[in-house]
Amino acid sequence: MAAALQSNDRLAPEELSAWLRLLLTPGVGRTTARRLLAACGGAQNIWSGPPAAWQGLVTAAQAHSLQTVPQRLEQLVAATAQWLDQPASGQLHAVLALGHPQYPQALLQTEDPPLLLHVQGSERCMAGSGPWFPYPQSLAMVGSRGPTVQGAANARAMAQALAEAGLCIVSGLAQGVDGAAHEGALRAVLRTGAQAAPVTIAVVGTGLDQVYPRRHIGLAREVASHGLIVSEYPLGTGPMAAHFPQRNRIIAGLSQGTLVVEAALQSGSLITARLASEQGREVFAIPGSIHAPQSRGCHALLRQGAKLVETAQDVLDELQGTAVRLPIAKPVPAAAAAAAAVQSAQDHENDATLRALAHDPLSLDELMDRTGMDAAALQAHLLELELDGRVERLPGGLFQRLAQA
């Protein structure tokens, strides 16, 4: 079991109780809470004086709620204290309130900073005196929860390249692009080694004693071992639909820019991109096929002025404080390069199905028309290409060729 944070880094029990009470009080949102904090000079001071001190700051209904101690407060304070004292080996736990020295300054620049941040992460990242959150060397990566195979591969490759160049990848630990982005960033650790700064940050919509989706339990463990997991929600908070759009403002706020990998027109990723734009941060998008629904959100962002991204260097060139050039691949001997080029050309030339597919999704009937193959032979060959990682089967009976690394 790892050692807990030093006592001077932790909220005192009475202060922790006051902050959690403010968080649990029904009808008192973040805006009202910040108004109370500013007027009273701190969470404990809200309840140290008479309710008359709230006059002009809250409504009558809110004043009544503030005078009622939430039922689960005592239990939550005890559970949070235990959680702070018992991190996993190699990790630390913390609760950061507004005004804490490690509270991320980047969030204070936003319109709606969270009142509290629960943080779970690597002891390497949290035990030092430096800032835990590496702004501006951070980039949000978001996208579809049901990406294409190519989209997920793009997210992993882009995150790995950017993490190797020194950027911290911020995402939401959700299924799809989020998970792929975290995985890609963690792959960078294998090449660069463990760092004092977090390689990736996951901002979640549950309490930190829960993982959603459950399939990401292992991924969450890896993120906490090499980066940070962050939540504004108290322990015991389960996955609720309203929480996930709310956490998007934190993802955008912790990052100098937001890269959307794949997104439909109604994707929540576009909320993150909009919030990033409103916060004066950069917005990037990776284009895709004009036929793919997962690309339409990215194309809409590009029409609105987002920066088009084809390579990791496109991102690095735009972000401030990241004047990093990605390493150029070591050249292979001329003879080997020529042989590889000839072999690749022959493979493409000889495979009529790959030539017919190009990189736009096509139906089986369209492929039959382009290749002249009968349905049985074409389906068998498509299955071979799919197993070989050359072709992806899309919803609606469509097939798409995958780019090769």
Q: Which residue has the higher pLDDT, 276 or 373?
A: 276
- What is the band of 4 on the pLDDT scale with cuts at 50, 70, 90? low
Give residue 5's pLDDT.
58
Model confidence pLDDT, tens digit, residues 173-192: 999 999 999 999 999 998 88
- What is the band of 331 on the pLDDT scale with cuts at 50, 70, 90? very low
Q: Where are the domains of the chain?
A: 7-86, 105-318, 335-401
120-125-131-137 Cα dihedral, nearest 10 degrees = -100
Q: Are 31 and 118 within 8 A, CB to CB? A: no
Q: Which residue has the higher pLDDT, 333 or 274?
A: 274
Give residue 31's pLDDT.
94
- What is the band of 3 on the pLDDT scale with cuts at 50, 70, 90? low
Can you tell me the distance from the alpha carbon of 53 to that of 37, in angstroms, rounded to the nearest whole number? 12
Domain 105-318 falls in which CATH fold?
Answer: Rossmann fold (3.40.50)
H/E stretch holding 240: none
- What is the band of 359 on the pLDDT scale with cuts at 50, 70, 90? low
Q: Are 291 and 148 within 8 A, CB to CB? A: no
Can you tell me the distance from the alpha carbon of 274 to that of 104, in angstroms, rounded to the nearest whole number? 21
pTM for the whole structure? 0.82
Residues 6+ apart with CB under 8 A from 162: 139, 169, 185, 312, 315, 316
Give residue 380's pLDDT.
77
Give residue 321's pLDDT.
58
Give residue 22's pLDDT.
97
Residues 6+ apart with CB under 8 A from 222: 182, 186
- What is the band of 332 on the pLDDT scale with cuts at 50, 70, 90? very low
Give residue 378's pLDDT.
82
Q: Which residue has the higher pLDDT, 270 or 365?
A: 270
Give residue 95's pLDDT.
98
- What is the band of 289 on the pLDDT scale with cuts at 50, 70, 90? confident
Q: Are 21 and 50 within 8 A, CB to CB? A: no
Give residue 6's pLDDT.
55
Can you tell me the distance from the alpha carbon of 164 to that of 184, in angstroms, rounded to the nearest whole number? 10
Give residue 167's pLDDT.
95
Give residue 45's pLDDT.
94
Model confidence pLDDT, tens digit, residues 115-132: 999 999 999 999 987 899
Kindly report the CATH class assigned to 335-401: mainly alpha
Residues 6+ apart with CB under 8 A from 29: none
Question: Average pLDDT of 235-246?
Answer: 95
Model confidence pLDDT, tens digit, residues 295-309: 999 999 999 999 999
pLDDT of residue 391 exceeding 90 = no
Model confidence pLDDT, tens digit, residues 72-108: 999 999 999 999 999 999 999 999 999 999 999 999 9
Give residue 337's pLDDT.
38
Give residue 342's pLDDT.
37
- What is the band of 368 on the pLDDT scale with cuts at 50, 70, 90? confident
Rounded to 5 degrees, φ, ψ at 326 are -70, 145
Model confidence pLDDT, tens digit, residues 209-220: 999 999 999 999
